């Protein structure tokens, strides 16, 4: 900013071209220290807000799944029910649907398995082994 001697400050404004600029007088504007405004977090697109409501169907599913998950954890006593490999952490971290939801599977505890993250990934990575062992069931079954 430049002081023009009449009590006004001028601020250069730049246009698109190189070297083309003009000054805008800032008469009557007090120069004060800049104040920092608190950072406002933008809501995540996945966050559920009043603008992004959750359907009653989804709420019902979530409640049903939480209840069934507690039953599965109690049934397995917090220990992985698969134990596929030596790197198994042997702690239930995931609840796996034997008959996948996309194939019409439900949240009934008989359709769920408590397993660690590594075993869960292995189940989905090797479907042939999973079908054979009974950790996944076919669509018609």
pLDDT tier, 29 (very low <50, low <70, confident <90, very high otherwise): low
* Residue 6 covered by a domain: no
* Residue 64 covered by a domain: yes
CB 11 within 8 A of CB 24: yes
Burial of 112 (0-12, 13-18, 19+ CB in 10 A): buried
* Phi/psi at 38 (5° precision): -65, 145
Q: Work out the average pLDDT over 64-72.
A: 92
* Residue 42 covered by a domain: no
* Residue 83 covered by a domain: yes
* Residue 32 covered by a domain: no
pTM of the predicted structure, to 2 decimals: 0.58
To which residue do tokens 């019902």 refer?
Answer: 60
The pLDDT, as a whole number, for residue 8 is: 60
What are the strands, taking DSSP E only, across the chain?
2-3, 9-14, 21-25, 94-97, 112-115
- State which H helix or E strand residue 121 sits in: helix 117-125
Can you give the residue range of the structural domain that contains 93? 56-133
* Phi/psi at 104 (5° precision): 95, 10
* Residue 10 covered by a domain: no
Number of domains in the chain: 1
CA–CA dist 14, 21 (Å, integer): 5
Q: Work out the average pLDDT over 59-75.
A: 91
* Residue 5 covered by a domain: no
The pLDDT, as a whole number, for residue 141 is: 56
Please check the confidence at residue 118 and state whether its pLDDT lies above 80: yes
Please check the confidence at residue 70 and state whether its pLDDT lies above 90: yes
* Residue 76 covered by a domain: yes
Higher per-residue pLDDT: 138 or 129: 129
């Amino acid at each position: 900013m430049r002081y023009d001697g009449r009590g006004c400050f001028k601020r250069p404004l730049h246009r698109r071209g190189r070297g083309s600029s003009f000054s805008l007088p800032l008469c009557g504007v007090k120069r004060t220290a800049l104040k920092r405004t608190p950072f406002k977090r933008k809501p995540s697109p996945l966050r559920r807000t009043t603008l992004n409501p959750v359907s009653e169907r989804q709420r019902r599913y979530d409640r049903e799944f939480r209840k069934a998950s507690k039953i599965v954890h109690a049934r397995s006593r917090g220990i992985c029910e698969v134990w596929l490999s030596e790197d198994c952490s042997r702690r239930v971290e995931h609840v796996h649907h034997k008959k996948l939801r996309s194939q019409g599977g439900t949240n009934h505890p008989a359709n769920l398995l408590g397993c660690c993250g590594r075993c869960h990934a292995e189940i989905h990575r090797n479907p042939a082994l999973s079908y054979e062992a009974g950790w996944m069931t076919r669509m018609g079954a």
